[in-house]
Structure 1
């Protein structure tokens, strides 16, 4: 059974090297577990969609909750799905700080997107738009 999980967290270390290390680790380990998804980062906040088998996604989310590189981890959405939306990415990446403010403003009260202040549905809609506008990089 396929599921999709969407969560938000704050980065403990906001250095570019720390963010790149998380992406590299994801891209190395996710294929063997059948995990796909996208990681958005900006302003010290991660927004991540993870797709795959229910057990694999649940185990990965548990690992993220215990990972010392993340704090304030909050589940935004968890659902059974018929098909993947991010199947082409072992872990795509979006730098939220570099997005066109008009895209962000479409889904947010302010030009800085804060997934802590929006619903999972709104956060997922933003991810859908980012995918449609080719803003997601790191296709693997």
Structure 2
């Protein structure tokens, strides 16, 4: 059974290009063997990530993220059983929201910045759908 999980967290250390590269490299190395796909968005110290795959695998990965000391304020925003993957083309796509037109972010929140803590999971998923539609996600695999 396939599931899609969306969560938000805050970094416990300064977010640097090297940190993002390390996270993405590890995801892209390990996710294919686990059958995990998804995307990672970040802005400032906030991360928002979708992970898709088998229910047990996704649940175990999320549990590991919750325990990871590099994350704080981990919040489950959306979880659903799905008949097909939405992010199947990405072993782990990425979006640096600092490089996105602020009007896209403003469309979905009170301010033109990533704040999944102040909107519903449904709104956060709608933002991600728009980022796909506007080709704002990079790092497509395959």
TM-score (norm 1): 0.97
| Offset from partner CA, 1:36-79 (integer Å, 9 cap, x none) | 00000111100001000000100100111111211111100110
Between the two proteins, the alignment pairs up a number of residues equal to: 140
Task: Report if aligned partners of 2:42, 2:114 keep a CA contact under 8 Å in 1.
Answer: no
Q: Which residue of 2 aligns with 1:126?
A: 127
Classify the secondary structure of the residue corresponding to 1:93: strand
Mapped pair 1:85 → 2:79:
no
Alpha-carbon shift at residue 94 of structure 1 (Å): 0.1
| CA-CA distance at 1:11 after TM superposition | 1.1
- Specify every segment of 5 or more residues in structure 1 that has no aligned partner in the other structure, as ranges: none
2-structure distance, mates of 1:135, 1:86:
13
Q: Distance in 1 between matches of 2:57 and 2:107?
A: 33
- Given that 2:4 and 2:80 are in contact with CA atoms closer than 8 Å, whether structure 1 keeps it comes out as yes
User: Which residue does the alignment assign to 1:64?
Assistant: 65
